[in-house]
Each structure stands twice: as C-alpha cells, then as structure tokens.
Structure 1
Amino acid sequence: MKEIVFIRHAKSSWEYDVSDRERPLKKRGINDFHLVSNHFKKCQFIPDVVFSSPAKRARQTCKIFSEKLNISDFDIKIKEDIYDFGGNQLIGFIKTLDDSLSKIIIFGHNYALTSLVNTYGSKYVENVTTSGLVWLKFDIDNWKSLKKGKTILTIFPRDLK
C-alpha cells in the first residue's frame, strides 16, 4: 500500500519583480494554508518523507506545514522534478521513488497536481486550488507500478471558511 498527499503551494504574490521561482507567498495564502494544515493535522498522517518543488512559494508552504505537523527538516527533500506544471516529470519522479517509502507528501504546482489527482484518484477534482490538498491511496507495493488509486480526502480553503 502506498499513499501520497499532494499539496499545491499557497497563493503567491505577484507584486515583486522576481522570477517565477522566487515569488513569495501572499498574506492571504499564508492564512489559507494555516486553515488547511490545521484541518489536516487531525488526520494524523505521518509521512516517511516530504518532497517540495524548489520554487520559493512551495518551500514556504512546506515550511508552514512541517512546523504545524512537527516534521523535521531532515525529512524534507527539495527536488527539481517537482517544479513541473504539466505532470510528466512529476509522474516520472514518483515512479522512481524507493519502495521502502510508503507515505509521502509532495508540495507542487498546477496544472501538474490537478492532472495527477484526476488521472490517479477516484474522485474528479476540477482544480487543485492554491493551498489545496488531495490524499490518494494506492493498492501497490512498488512505485513503478503506479496505477489508479482511491481519493481519501480533499481539503480546500474555501470549504473551511
């Protein structure tokens, strides 16, 4: 059994003249993500490892979440393949994960996340919004056999306000 919690970064700010990778979070994004992480904390999901895109907004979102859930910095890995907007790199990354890992969290971007949760989940999600979380469970023993699984939970800020 394998499980992935996909989390889209919180809302970022466009008010700074920086590259896409360096865009920071917006105050609203931080507030929304506190709502989502507080709600998810009740699920008591303990990941084997957390992966994040190298983009600043994803790393900042990951930091908020990790602090909220008491996840050590040692358990967080920044991976270039997650800075993906289409989904192919991200699928390739997942399929090469070490099979000793059963529960992972990935902080990434759209359209990749919406595409993956609809391809591999059992519930249609129109859009994984900023600060959105989707938890999928797979009846597989190794990551290279990734196939359609079950959508366990979706959390979106709009549903918590």
Structure 2
Amino acid sequence: MKILTLVRHGKSSWEFDVSDDKRPLKSRGRSDAKLVANQFINNNQLPQMVFSSPAKRALETCKIFTQTIGFSENSVIIEDDLYDFGGENVIKFVKSLSNEIDDVMIFGHNHAFTSIANIFGDTYIDNLPTSGLVRLNFEINKWEDLEKGRTEYIIVPKELR
C-alpha cells in the first residue's frame, strides 16, 4: 500500500510587491496550518518523507507541519516540480518516487492539489482550501502504478476553528 498526503500552502499575503514564489504566509495562514498540523498528528499517522514546493508560502507551511510533527527542517526535500498549478508535474513526481517509500507528504499548490485529489481519490472536493490536507491510500506496490485510490480523510481549517 502507498499513502499520499497533499497539503495546500496556507493563506498567503499579497501586501508585498514580490514575485509569486516569494509571497509569504499571512498570520491566518500560519495559524490555520498549525490547526491542521495538530489535527493531523492526532491521527497518529506520520509520513516517511516530506517534500515541498520551493515557493516561500509552501515552505513556511511545511516548516509549521514539520515542527509540529517533530521532524527536523533538514528532513524536508525541496522539489522544483512541486511548484505546479496544473498537476501534471506533481503526478510525474509522485510516479517517480522510490518504491521504498510507502507514506509521503507533499506541500504545494492549487489547482494541482484539488485536481489530484479528485482524479485519484474517491471523495469529490470542489476546492482544497488553503492549509487543507487530503490523505489518499492506494492498493499498489509501485508509485509508477498510481491509480484510483481511496480518500482516507480531508482536514480543512474552517472545520477546526
């Protein structure tokens, strides 16, 4: 079995005149990410590996999760292909993962994550909100065989506030 956890970055700030990949989180983005991270660890299911988009808002969200989980910052692998909004590069990345990894967590962006959750999960979601998390299970032994799986759960901050 393979498990994929997708986490959309927290709410980002538009108040700075910076390029898209340099936008930081708003304070609400940080607090929502912490809420979701705490709920995630209550499920006692920690990933083997953590990957993040290089975008500042995704990395900040990832740091909040790794600190909450108790992983070191050095355990996060930054992957350029995760700075993707359509989903094709994320899917290619997941299909190329080492089969020695059974449980992976990825931090990235919408529309890619909503699309992937709907393509590969069995629960339709209209939109994965900022700081939203989707955990998907697959009855496969190799990531390259990625196919329709099961949506184990979805955590959204609005339901935790």
Scaled to the shorter chain, the TM-score interval is over 0.9
1-structure distance, mates of 2:75, 2:137: 21
2-structure distance, mates of 1:121, 1:144: 16
Q: How many residues align?
A: 161
Q: Please show how residues 113-128 of structure 1 align to structure 2 within 5 Å.
A: 113-128=113-128
- Deviation readout 1:91-138 (Å, 9 max, x if unpaired): 000101000000000001000000000000010011010000000000
SS of 1:4's equivalent in the other structure is strand
- Deviation readout 1:129-148 (Å, 9 max, x if unpaired): 00000000000000000000
1-structure distance, mates of 2:130, 2:119: 19
Name the Cα RMSD after superposition. Answer: 0.7
SS of 2:71's equivalent in the other structure is coil
SS of 1:41's equivalent in the other structure is helix
1-structure distance, mates of 2:121, 2:127: 13
Q: Please show how residues 86-97 of structure 1 align to structure 2 within 5 Å.
A: 86-97=86-97
Q: Please show how residues 17-56 of structure 1 align to structure 2 within 5 Å.
A: 17-56=17-56
2-structure distance, mates of 1:37, 1:119: 24
- Matched AA of 2:143: W
Scaled by the length of structure 1, what TM-score is found? Answer: 0.98
Q: Please show how residues 3-152 of structure 1 align to structure 2 within 5 Å.
A: 3-152=3-152
Scaled by the length of structure 2, what TM-score is found? Answer: 0.98
Structure 1 residues not aligned, in runs of 5+: none
Structure 2 residues not aligned, in runs of 5+: none
- Matched AA of 1:21: D
1-structure distance, mates of 2:72, 2:139: 28
